[in-house]
Amino acid sequence: MSSFLSAEAAALAPYTPGEQPTDAQYLKLNTNENPFPPSPKVLKAISRAELLKLNLYSDPTCARLGDAIAKRYGLRNENVLTGNGSDEVLGFAFRAFCGAGKGVAFADITYGFYQAQTPLFGLDATRIPLREDFSLRVDDYMEFPGTIVIANPNAPTGMAVPRSDIQRLLEADPGRVVIVDEAYVDFGAESCVPLLFRYNNLLVVQTMSKSRSLAGGRVGFALGAAELIADLNRVKYSFNPYNVNRLSLIAGAAAVEDEPYFRSCCAAIVQAREWTAGELSNLGFAVLPSLTNFLFAKSDRISGGALYHKLKEDGILVRWFDADRIRDYVRITVGSMEQMETLIERLSQLLEES
Protein backbone atom coordinates (compact mmCIF):
# COMPACT_ATOMS: atom_id res chain seq x y z
CA MET A 1 0.00 0.00 0.00
CA SER A 2 1.54 3.30 -1.08
CA SER A 3 1.41 6.61 0.71
CA PHE A 4 -0.62 7.96 -2.22
CA LEU A 5 -3.61 5.67 -1.72
CA SER A 6 -6.75 7.56 -0.76
CA ALA A 7 -8.47 6.85 2.55
CA GLU A 8 -11.52 5.65 0.65
CA ALA A 9 -9.52 3.12 -1.37
CA ALA A 10 -7.62 1.98 1.72
CA ALA A 11 -10.93 1.12 3.37
CA LEU A 12 -11.95 -1.28 0.59
CA ALA A 13 -12.13 -5.01 1.19
CA PRO A 14 -11.53 -6.42 -2.32
CA TYR A 15 -13.18 -9.59 -3.56
CA THR A 16 -10.84 -12.59 -3.49
CA PRO A 17 -11.10 -14.69 -6.67
CA GLY A 18 -10.47 -18.42 -6.69
CA GLU A 19 -6.96 -19.63 -7.39
CA GLN A 20 -5.96 -19.56 -11.06
CA PRO A 21 -2.75 -21.57 -11.45
CA THR A 22 -0.81 -20.85 -14.63
CA ASP A 23 0.29 -24.43 -15.18
CA ALA A 24 -1.74 -27.55 -15.87
CA GLN A 25 -0.78 -29.57 -12.82
CA TYR A 26 -4.10 -29.10 -11.01
CA LEU A 27 -7.55 -30.56 -11.50
CA LYS A 28 -9.42 -27.28 -11.17
CA LEU A 29 -12.71 -27.69 -9.34
CA ASN A 30 -12.59 -24.34 -7.57
CA THR A 31 -13.90 -21.55 -9.81
CA ASN A 32 -17.08 -23.03 -11.35
CA GLU A 33 -15.74 -23.02 -14.89
CA ASN A 34 -17.38 -25.18 -17.52
CA PRO A 35 -15.37 -28.35 -18.28
CA PHE A 36 -16.35 -28.20 -21.96
CA PRO A 37 -14.88 -25.89 -24.61
CA PRO A 38 -16.94 -23.10 -26.18
CA SER A 39 -19.39 -23.95 -28.93
CA PRO A 40 -17.77 -24.92 -32.26
CA LYS A 41 -19.69 -21.98 -33.70
CA VAL A 42 -17.68 -19.67 -31.44
CA LEU A 43 -14.40 -21.03 -32.75
CA LYS A 44 -15.61 -20.65 -36.32
CA ALA A 45 -16.87 -17.09 -35.80
CA ILE A 46 -13.54 -15.81 -34.49
CA SER A 47 -11.84 -15.88 -37.89
CA ARG A 48 -8.55 -14.40 -39.05
CA ALA A 49 -10.54 -11.61 -40.68
CA GLU A 50 -12.01 -10.68 -37.32
CA LEU A 51 -8.60 -10.82 -35.65
CA LEU A 52 -7.29 -8.34 -38.20
CA LYS A 53 -9.96 -5.88 -37.05
CA LEU A 54 -8.55 -5.60 -33.55
CA ASN A 55 -7.05 -2.25 -34.54
CA LEU A 56 -10.64 -0.92 -34.49
CA TYR A 57 -12.76 -0.16 -31.46
CA SER A 58 -15.59 -2.51 -30.62
CA ASP A 59 -19.22 -1.48 -31.11
CA PRO A 60 -20.16 0.50 -27.98
CA THR A 61 -23.83 -0.42 -28.46
CA CYS A 62 -22.97 -4.15 -28.59
CA ALA A 63 -25.82 -4.40 -31.11
CA ARG A 64 -25.11 -7.84 -32.59
CA LEU A 65 -24.74 -9.51 -29.21
CA GLY A 66 -27.68 -7.60 -27.77
CA ASP A 67 -29.88 -8.68 -30.68
CA ALA A 68 -28.89 -12.34 -30.23
CA ILE A 69 -29.65 -12.24 -26.50
CA ALA A 70 -32.94 -10.40 -27.02
CA LYS A 71 -34.09 -12.92 -29.62
CA ARG A 72 -33.21 -15.86 -27.39
CA TYR A 73 -35.30 -14.51 -24.50
CA GLY A 74 -38.16 -13.04 -26.53
CA LEU A 75 -37.21 -9.44 -25.71
CA ARG A 76 -36.10 -6.34 -27.59
CA ASN A 77 -32.60 -4.93 -27.82
CA GLU A 78 -33.69 -2.07 -25.57
CA ASN A 79 -34.25 -4.64 -22.82
CA VAL A 80 -30.62 -5.85 -22.90
CA LEU A 81 -27.34 -4.47 -21.63
CA THR A 82 -24.12 -6.40 -22.18
CA GLY A 83 -21.01 -6.07 -20.10
CA ASN A 84 -17.47 -7.21 -19.44
CA GLY A 85 -18.70 -10.17 -17.41
CA SER A 86 -21.68 -10.04 -15.09
CA ASP A 87 -19.46 -8.44 -12.43
CA GLU A 88 -19.30 -5.25 -14.47
CA VAL A 89 -23.06 -5.35 -15.05
CA LEU A 90 -23.62 -5.74 -11.31
CA GLY A 91 -21.27 -2.83 -10.70
CA PHE A 92 -23.31 -0.67 -13.08
CA ALA A 93 -26.47 -1.71 -11.25
CA PHE A 94 -25.05 -0.89 -7.81
CA ARG A 95 -24.07 2.55 -9.08
CA ALA A 96 -27.39 3.13 -10.87
CA PHE A 97 -29.89 1.94 -8.26
CA CYS A 98 -28.17 2.54 -4.93
CA GLY A 99 -26.81 5.70 -3.34
CA ALA A 100 -27.55 8.38 -0.81
CA GLY A 101 -30.71 7.45 1.07
CA LYS A 102 -31.08 4.22 -0.92
CA GLY A 103 -29.19 1.29 0.55
CA VAL A 104 -28.82 -2.26 -0.68
CA ALA A 105 -29.62 -5.59 0.96
CA PHE A 106 -28.26 -9.05 0.24
CA ALA A 107 -27.67 -12.29 2.11
CA ASP A 108 -24.93 -12.74 4.68
CA ILE A 109 -23.71 -15.84 2.84
CA THR A 110 -23.69 -15.13 -0.87
CA TYR A 111 -21.47 -14.00 -3.72
CA GLY A 112 -18.65 -11.99 -2.13
CA PHE A 113 -18.60 -9.43 -4.92
CA TYR A 114 -21.67 -7.71 -3.48
CA GLN A 115 -19.89 -6.94 -0.21
CA ALA A 116 -16.83 -5.73 -2.12
CA GLN A 117 -18.89 -3.35 -4.26
CA THR A 118 -20.70 -1.52 -1.47
CA PRO A 119 -17.71 0.36 0.03
CA LEU A 120 -16.40 1.09 -3.47
CA PHE A 121 -19.53 3.15 -4.12
CA GLY A 122 -19.97 4.29 -0.52
CA LEU A 123 -23.24 2.42 -0.10
CA ASP A 124 -25.17 1.51 3.01
CA ALA A 125 -25.32 -2.29 2.93
CA THR A 126 -27.62 -4.53 4.95
CA ARG A 127 -26.69 -8.20 5.19
CA ILE A 128 -29.67 -10.40 5.91
CA PRO A 129 -28.84 -13.82 7.39
CA LEU A 130 -29.83 -16.98 5.60
CA ARG A 131 -31.94 -19.32 7.69
CA GLU A 132 -30.27 -22.05 9.73
CA ASP A 133 -30.63 -24.51 6.84
CA PHE A 134 -28.99 -21.95 4.49
CA SER A 135 -32.27 -21.24 2.70
CA LEU A 136 -33.12 -17.69 1.65
CA ARG A 137 -36.61 -16.53 2.63
CA VAL A 138 -37.92 -13.50 0.79
CA ASP A 139 -40.11 -12.67 3.79
CA ASP A 140 -36.93 -11.44 5.49
CA TYR A 141 -36.58 -8.77 2.76
CA MET A 142 -40.15 -7.55 2.52
CA GLU A 143 -39.72 -4.46 4.69
CA PHE A 144 -36.37 -3.37 3.29
CA PRO A 145 -36.87 0.00 1.53
CA GLY A 146 -33.85 -0.01 -0.79
CA THR A 147 -32.47 -2.13 -3.62
CA ILE A 148 -32.40 -5.90 -3.09
CA VAL A 149 -29.87 -8.26 -4.65
CA ILE A 150 -30.53 -12.01 -4.65
CA ALA A 151 -28.21 -14.58 -6.18
CA ASN A 152 -30.56 -17.28 -7.45
CA PRO A 153 -29.37 -19.97 -7.20
CA ASN A 154 -27.19 -18.73 -4.40
CA ALA A 155 -23.43 -19.07 -4.23
CA PRO A 156 -21.72 -20.77 -2.50
CA THR A 157 -24.66 -22.80 -1.20
CA GLY A 158 -26.15 -23.76 -4.59
CA MET A 159 -29.71 -23.45 -3.26
CA ALA A 160 -32.48 -21.69 -5.19
CA VAL A 161 -35.57 -19.61 -4.43
CA PRO A 162 -38.80 -20.37 -6.32
CA ARG A 163 -39.77 -17.79 -8.93
CA SER A 164 -43.10 -17.31 -7.16
CA ASP A 165 -41.22 -16.00 -4.11
CA ILE A 166 -39.36 -13.43 -6.21
CA GLN A 167 -42.72 -12.41 -7.63
CA ARG A 168 -44.06 -11.76 -4.14
CA LEU A 169 -41.04 -9.58 -3.44
CA LEU A 170 -41.58 -7.57 -6.61
CA GLU A 171 -45.25 -7.01 -5.86
CA ALA A 172 -44.66 -6.04 -2.23
CA ASP A 173 -42.99 -2.76 -3.21
CA PRO A 174 -43.05 -1.71 -6.91
CA GLY A 175 -40.97 1.33 -5.93
CA ARG A 176 -37.75 -0.58 -5.33
CA VAL A 177 -35.51 -2.50 -7.72
CA VAL A 178 -34.94 -6.22 -7.20
CA ILE A 179 -31.78 -7.52 -8.87
CA VAL A 180 -31.75 -11.28 -9.42
CA ASP A 181 -28.27 -12.59 -10.19
CA GLU A 182 -28.84 -15.74 -12.27
CA ALA A 183 -25.23 -16.71 -12.92
CA TYR A 184 -26.09 -20.40 -12.38
CA VAL A 185 -29.73 -20.54 -13.44
CA ASP A 186 -29.14 -22.68 -16.52
CA PHE A 187 -28.36 -25.75 -14.43
CA GLY A 188 -31.90 -26.37 -13.23
CA ALA A 189 -33.37 -23.39 -11.38
CA GLU A 190 -36.39 -21.28 -12.40
CA SER A 191 -35.38 -18.12 -14.24
CA CYS A 192 -37.15 -14.87 -13.45
CA VAL A 193 -36.98 -13.73 -17.10
CA PRO A 194 -40.72 -14.47 -17.64
CA LEU A 195 -41.50 -11.95 -14.89
CA LEU A 196 -39.89 -9.16 -16.92
CA PHE A 197 -43.04 -8.89 -19.00
CA ARG A 198 -45.05 -7.90 -15.91
CA TYR A 199 -42.70 -6.07 -13.54
CA ASN A 200 -40.71 -2.92 -14.31
CA ASN A 201 -38.74 -3.13 -11.06
CA LEU A 202 -36.97 -6.40 -11.91
CA LEU A 203 -33.43 -6.64 -13.27
CA VAL A 204 -32.12 -10.09 -14.20
CA VAL A 205 -28.35 -10.47 -14.52
CA GLN A 206 -26.77 -13.47 -16.25
CA THR A 207 -23.34 -14.54 -17.46
CA MET A 208 -21.85 -16.63 -20.24
CA SER A 209 -18.99 -17.76 -18.00
CA LYS A 210 -20.71 -20.86 -16.64
CA SER A 211 -23.21 -22.51 -18.95
CA ARG A 212 -21.78 -21.16 -22.22
CA SER A 213 -18.07 -21.83 -21.55
CA LEU A 214 -16.92 -18.22 -21.99
CA ALA A 215 -15.37 -17.45 -18.59
CA GLY A 216 -12.25 -16.16 -20.32
CA GLY A 217 -14.32 -14.12 -22.77
CA ARG A 218 -15.89 -12.04 -19.97
CA VAL A 219 -19.43 -11.69 -21.30
CA GLY A 220 -22.34 -10.84 -19.02
CA PHE A 221 -25.68 -9.19 -19.55
CA ALA A 222 -28.68 -7.65 -17.85
CA LEU A 223 -32.33 -8.03 -18.87
CA GLY A 224 -34.97 -5.58 -17.75
CA ALA A 225 -37.43 -2.85 -18.61
CA ALA A 226 -36.15 -0.35 -21.18
CA GLU A 227 -36.02 2.36 -18.51
CA LEU A 228 -33.77 0.25 -16.25
CA ILE A 229 -31.47 -0.61 -19.14
CA ALA A 230 -31.26 3.09 -20.03
CA ASP A 231 -30.19 3.77 -16.45
CA LEU A 232 -27.43 1.17 -16.73
CA ASN A 233 -26.29 2.65 -20.04
CA ARG A 234 -26.04 6.05 -18.38
CA VAL A 235 -23.53 4.56 -15.95
CA LYS A 236 -21.75 2.59 -18.67
CA TYR A 237 -21.21 5.60 -20.92
CA SER A 238 -19.90 7.53 -17.92
CA PHE A 239 -17.33 4.84 -17.20
CA ASN A 240 -16.36 2.64 -20.17
CA PRO A 241 -18.30 2.99 -23.46
CA TYR A 242 -16.28 0.28 -25.24
CA ASN A 243 -16.75 -2.17 -22.41
CA VAL A 244 -16.95 -5.43 -24.40
CA ASN A 245 -14.11 -6.21 -26.80
CA ARG A 246 -14.66 -7.14 -30.46
CA LEU A 247 -13.87 -10.84 -30.08
CA SER A 248 -16.09 -11.29 -27.03
CA LEU A 249 -19.01 -9.68 -28.85
CA ILE A 250 -18.58 -12.19 -31.68
CA ALA A 251 -18.05 -15.14 -29.34
CA GLY A 252 -21.05 -14.24 -27.20
CA ALA A 253 -23.42 -13.97 -30.14
CA ALA A 254 -22.25 -17.29 -31.58
CA ALA A 255 -22.60 -19.00 -28.20
CA VAL A 256 -26.16 -17.75 -27.73
CA GLU A 257 -27.14 -18.90 -31.21
CA ASP A 258 -25.95 -22.49 -30.62
CA GLU A 259 -28.82 -23.68 -28.45
CA PRO A 260 -28.28 -27.44 -28.98
CA TYR A 261 -24.67 -27.28 -27.81
CA PHE A 262 -25.64 -25.17 -24.80
CA ARG A 263 -28.34 -27.63 -23.76
CA SER A 264 -26.13 -30.67 -24.19
CA CYS A 265 -23.36 -29.19 -22.03
CA CYS A 266 -25.80 -28.21 -19.29
CA ALA A 267 -27.39 -31.67 -19.33
CA ALA A 268 -23.99 -33.35 -19.00
CA ILE A 269 -23.07 -31.16 -16.05
CA VAL A 270 -26.39 -31.80 -14.31
CA GLN A 271 -25.89 -35.54 -14.77
CA ALA A 272 -22.38 -35.34 -13.32
CA ARG A 273 -23.66 -33.19 -10.45
CA GLU A 274 -26.32 -35.69 -9.44
CA TRP A 275 -23.88 -38.60 -9.63
CA THR A 276 -21.29 -36.72 -7.56
CA ALA A 277 -23.83 -35.65 -4.95
CA GLY A 278 -24.87 -39.27 -4.52
CA GLU A 279 -21.27 -40.47 -4.22
CA LEU A 280 -20.47 -37.76 -1.68
CA SER A 281 -23.49 -38.78 0.38
CA ASN A 282 -22.32 -42.40 0.24
CA LEU A 283 -19.01 -41.21 1.70
CA GLY A 284 -20.85 -39.58 4.60
CA PHE A 285 -20.76 -35.99 3.35
CA ALA A 286 -23.64 -33.63 4.04
CA VAL A 287 -24.44 -32.09 0.66
CA LEU A 288 -26.71 -29.09 0.22
CA PRO A 289 -29.33 -29.38 -2.56
CA SER A 290 -27.78 -27.70 -5.60
CA LEU A 291 -29.22 -26.35 -8.83
CA THR A 292 -25.85 -25.04 -10.00
CA ASN A 293 -22.65 -26.42 -11.49
CA PHE A 294 -21.12 -26.88 -8.05
CA LEU A 295 -21.78 -28.69 -4.77
CA PHE A 296 -21.41 -27.38 -1.23
CA ALA A 297 -20.50 -30.22 1.10
CA LYS A 298 -18.96 -31.06 4.45
CA SER A 299 -17.74 -34.14 6.26
CA ASP A 300 -17.73 -34.70 10.01
CA ARG A 301 -14.56 -36.75 9.59
CA ILE A 302 -12.34 -33.96 8.29
CA SER A 303 -12.58 -30.18 8.52
CA GLY A 304 -13.18 -28.04 5.46
CA GLY A 305 -9.78 -26.40 5.73
CA ALA A 306 -7.94 -29.69 6.13
CA LEU A 307 -9.82 -31.21 3.19
CA TYR A 308 -8.99 -28.25 0.97
CA HIS A 309 -5.28 -28.43 1.82
CA LYS A 310 -5.03 -32.21 1.44
CA LEU A 311 -6.76 -32.14 -1.93
CA LYS A 312 -4.49 -29.32 -3.08
CA GLU A 313 -1.46 -31.36 -2.11
CA ASP A 314 -2.83 -34.09 -4.37
CA GLY A 315 -3.33 -31.70 -7.29
CA ILE A 316 -7.07 -31.06 -6.87
CA LEU A 317 -8.32 -27.54 -6.23
CA VAL A 318 -11.66 -26.91 -4.52
CA ARG A 319 -12.85 -23.69 -2.87
CA TRP A 320 -12.80 -23.23 0.90
CA PHE A 321 -14.18 -20.15 2.65
CA ASP A 322 -12.67 -19.44 6.07
CA ALA A 323 -15.84 -17.73 7.27
CA ASP A 324 -18.40 -18.16 10.02
CA ARG A 325 -21.18 -20.71 9.44
CA ILE A 326 -19.55 -22.22 6.35
CA ARG A 327 -16.01 -22.98 7.55
CA ASP A 328 -16.68 -26.73 7.59
CA TYR A 329 -17.76 -26.78 3.94
CA VAL A 330 -15.93 -26.91 0.62
CA ARG A 331 -17.38 -25.83 -2.69
CA ILE A 332 -16.72 -28.31 -5.47
CA THR A 333 -17.13 -27.35 -9.12
CA VAL A 334 -18.85 -30.03 -11.18
CA GLY A 335 -16.54 -30.98 -14.02
CA SER A 336 -16.68 -33.83 -16.48
CA MET A 337 -17.62 -37.32 -15.29
CA GLU A 338 -13.99 -38.35 -15.56
CA GLN A 339 -12.94 -35.46 -13.34
CA MET A 340 -15.62 -36.21 -10.78
CA GLU A 341 -14.65 -39.90 -10.69
CA THR A 342 -11.06 -38.82 -9.96
CA LEU A 343 -12.28 -36.57 -7.15
CA ILE A 344 -14.44 -39.26 -5.53
CA GLU A 345 -11.62 -41.80 -5.73
CA ARG A 346 -9.25 -39.42 -3.96
CA LEU A 347 -11.81 -38.42 -1.34
CA SER A 348 -12.40 -42.10 -0.54
CA GLN A 349 -8.67 -42.55 0.02
CA LEU A 350 -8.43 -39.43 2.18
CA LEU A 351 -11.28 -40.51 4.41
CA GLU A 352 -9.75 -43.96 4.83
CA GLU A 353 -6.44 -42.37 5.80
CA SER A 354 -8.11 -40.05 8.29
What local confidence, expressed as pLDDT, does residue 15 receive?
Answer: 80
CATH code reported for the domain at 7-37+260-353:
3.90.1150.10
What local confidence, expressed as pLDDT, does residue 11 receive?
Answer: 83
Backbone angles phi, psi at 99, to 5 degrees: 165, -155
Contact between 213 and 38 under an 8 Å Cβ cutoff? The reply is yes
What local confidence, expressed as pLDDT, does residue 43 receive?
Answer: 94
- Render 100-123 in DSSP notation, one character per residue: TTB-EEEESSS-HHHHHHHHHTT-
Contact between 93 and 222 under an 8 Å Cβ cutoff? The reply is yes
What local confidence, expressed as pLDDT, does residue 329 receive?
Answer: 98
What local confidence, expressed as pLDDT, does residue 265 receive?
Answer: 98
For every one of its 354 residues, what pLDDT tens digit does the chain have, with 9 covering 90 and above? 898 988 888 888 888 887 878 766 889 999 999 999 999 999 999 999 999 999 999 999 999 999 999 999 999 999 999 999 999 999 999 999 999 889 999 999 999 999 998 999 999 999 999 999 999 999 999 999 999 999 999 999 999 999 999 999 999 999 999 999 999 999 999 999 999 999 999 999 999 999 999 999 999 999 999 999 999 999 999 999 999 999 999 999 999 999 999 999 999 999 999 999 999 999 999 999 999 999 999 999 999 999 999 999 999 999 999 999 999 999 999 999 999 999 999 999 999 887
What local confidence, expressed as pLDDT, does residue 318 receive?
Answer: 97
Distance CA 38, CA 243 (A): 21
Query: Hey, where are the domains in the chain?
Result: 7-37+260-353, 40-258
Backbone angles phi, psi at 242, to 5 degrees: -95, 60
What local confidence, expressed as pLDDT, does residue 24 receive?
Answer: 64
CATH code reported for the domain at 40-258:
3.40.640.10
CA distances to 38, 46, 71, 201 from 185, in Å:
18, 27, 18, 20
